[in-house]
Structure 1
Amino acid sequence: MTELRKRMNDAMVLRGLAERTKESYLACVTGLAKYYWLSPDTLDAEAIQSYLLHLITEKKLAYSSVNQAACAFRFLFATVLRQKSVAFDIPMAKVPKRLPQVLTRDEVQRLFAHGGDLRSRAVLMTTYAAGLRLSEVCALQLGDIESAPDRMCIKVRQGKGGKDRYTLLSPRLLDTLRLYWRARRPRLWLFPNSSGDGPLSDQTAQRMYHAARRAAGIEHGGGIHTLRHAFATHLLEAGVDIHTIQRLMGHGHVSTTTRYFHLAHTHLIGTPSPLELLDPD
C-alpha cells in the first residue's frame, strides 16, 4: 500500500482536494485493503461492490459514508490507476435529507455555563459565536483573531473546499479569549493539544461539547456541529439576511443556507395560514 498510497496522495494534492477529503479518501482505500488483505489495485468492480454492500449491511454505515467510499474508489481507479475503461456499477445512494438539530438560545447559555474549565468554554463559545466547523475551530491560530477596532473578525484558513474566509468576532467572545490567553498562554495554535505541539484534536473538542451538554441536562443536540447550526438559525431569527449568513458560514451555494429557514421560529410565528386569507362564508 505504501507506493499506491503515495501515488493517490500526490494525485489528490495536484487536484487541490481539501485536507479532510484526502484523509477520508485514504482511510476508505485503507479499509478496502484491510478487508480483503489485498492491494486495492488488484481488485475488480465486483469485489468493490461487495465491500460497499458490506459497509451498508454489516457495518451499518450511513449512506453518506458509503457514498464517500464509492467516490474514493472511483478516484483511485479512474484518476490514480488510469483505468477509465473499467465500468463501475456502483449506484450512489440517495441520502435522506433531515433538518439539523438546533439548540435554543437558553440551551446555548446553559451549555456555556456548564462548559467545565475556561478552555472548554472558550472552544464552545468560539464555535457558536463564529459559526465554525469542527475542523475550523481546532485549526485556529492566534494570528487568526483580528481584534483591531476597525477589523474585529476571525480568519478561517482553508475551510471546506480549501477556501479562506472571514467571520464574526464578537466582543463578548474576545473578552473570553483574552481571559483564556492570560490563563493558558498559547503560542501558535489558539487551542493547542495537551502537548502544545499541535492543534486541538476533533475528538477532544467533541468530548468538551458532550460533557457540557450532559452537565447542562440537554438531552438532544447531536455533536458540536450543532453550535454551527444554532449560529445560522439565531442570526436568521435576528433578521440577518441569508446571503450574509452564507458568506459567514462559507457555503458555496445559498441553497445550503436556505434550509435554516425551516428552523427559524420567527419566520413561522405570526405567519397566517392561507385559510385565514379566504373570504368568510
Structure 2
Amino acid sequence: MHEKLTKSFSINGKSESTLKNYSRCLAHLALHYKKSPEHLDKEAIDDYLFHCKNQHNTPSDSFFKHTIYGLRAIYKLLGMDGQKVQLPEIKRQNDLPVVMSLEEVKKLINAPKYLKHRLIIATLYGCGLRSYELCALKLSNELLEVPYFIHL
C-alpha cells in the first residue's frame, strides 16, 4: 500500500512531506489494530478517530486531519469509493492577536541591561524576524530601513 501511495504522490506531484505525514498517521492506525487500514470497517475507523480525538496524550489536530486525508488517499488509490471518511469540523481559535502599544514596545526593548540584547529584541520585533533568521544575519546584509523605535 505504501509503495502504491508513494508512486501516486510522485506521479501527481504531491510533496514528500505530505506523503510522510499521511504514511505516519496510517502506520499509527495500522499498529493500533495490527492490520492494514484498507481492511478495517467504518466502525473501526470511527472508533480510532474517536480514540484520537479524546485521548489526552494524542498528537495534534494536524495528526487527526492527516489520518483522515491519508485514509481518503488510500481509498481513492485502491478504488474503494464506498469507503468515505468525513473530516469533522475542527474549531479554530479566531481571536485577533494582541498588539503591543508603543509604550509596551519601549519597555520590552529597554528591559535588557546590555545594548546588544536591546538591539536583538528591536531587530526581531521591528523586522518581524524569526530567531533563526536573526542568527543568519551577517554584517554584509543591508538593512533597507532601520526600525523607527531603535532610536527610542
TM-score, scaled relative to structure 2: 0.62
Q: Identify if the C-alpha distance between structure 1 residues 38 and 29 changes in structure 2 by more than 3 Å, giving closer, same or farther.
A: same
What is residue 124 of structure 1 aligned with on the other side? Answer: 131
Match of 2:52 among 52, 55, 74: 55
CA displacement at 1:125 relative to structure 2? 3.9
Q: Does 1:43 align with 2:50?
A: no
Q: Which amino acid aligns with 1:92?
A: P
Query: Is the partner of 2:138 in helix, strand or coil?
Result: helix
TM-score, scaled relative to structure 1: 0.36
What is residue 11 of structure 1 aligned with on the other side? Answer: 8
Q: Which 4+ stretches in 1 moved above 4 angstroms?
A: 98-105
What is residue 228 of structure 1 aligned with on the other side? Answer: none
Q: Does 1:109 align with 2:105?
A: no
CA–CA separation in structure 1 for the residues paired with 2:9 and 2:21: 11
CA–CA separation in structure 2 for the residues paired with 1:12 and 1:62: 24
CA–CA separation in structure 1 for the residues paired with 2:14 and 2:23: 12
CA RMSD of aligned residues (A): 3.6
Note if contact 1:70-1:92 (Cα within 8 Å) is conserved in structure 2.
Answer: no
Bigger Cα Rg:
2
Match of 2:138 among 167, 170, 174: 174
Aligned identity (percent) is 21
Match of 1:95 among 82, 91, 94: 91
Match of 1:21 among 18, 31, 39: 18
CA displacement at 1:10 relative to structure 2? 1.1
CA–CA separation in structure 1 for the residues paired with 2:46 and 2:59: 15
Q: Does 1:82 align with 2:93?
A: no
Q: Which amino acid aligns with 1:12?
A: F
CA–CA separation in structure 1 for the residues paired with 2:97 and 2:53: 23
CA–CA separation in structure 1 for the residues paired with 2:119 and 2:68: 37
- Write the mapping of 1:162-201 to structure 2, written as runs, cut at 5 A: 173-175=137-139
Note if contact 1:25-1:69 (Cα within 8 Å) is conserved in structure 2.
Answer: yes
Q: Which amino acid aligns with 1:67?
A: K
Q: Which amino acid aligns with 2:137?
A: L
Mind listing any 5+ residue stretches in structure 1 that lack a counterpart?
Answer: 113-122, 130-171, 178-237, 239-281
Query: Is the partner of 2:139 in helix, strand or coil?
Result: helix
Count of paired positions: 121
CA–CA separation in structure 2 for the residues paired with 1:60 and 1:29: 15
What is residue 257 of structure 1 aligned with on the other side? Answer: none
CA–CA separation in structure 2 for the residues paired with 1:108 and 1:52: 48
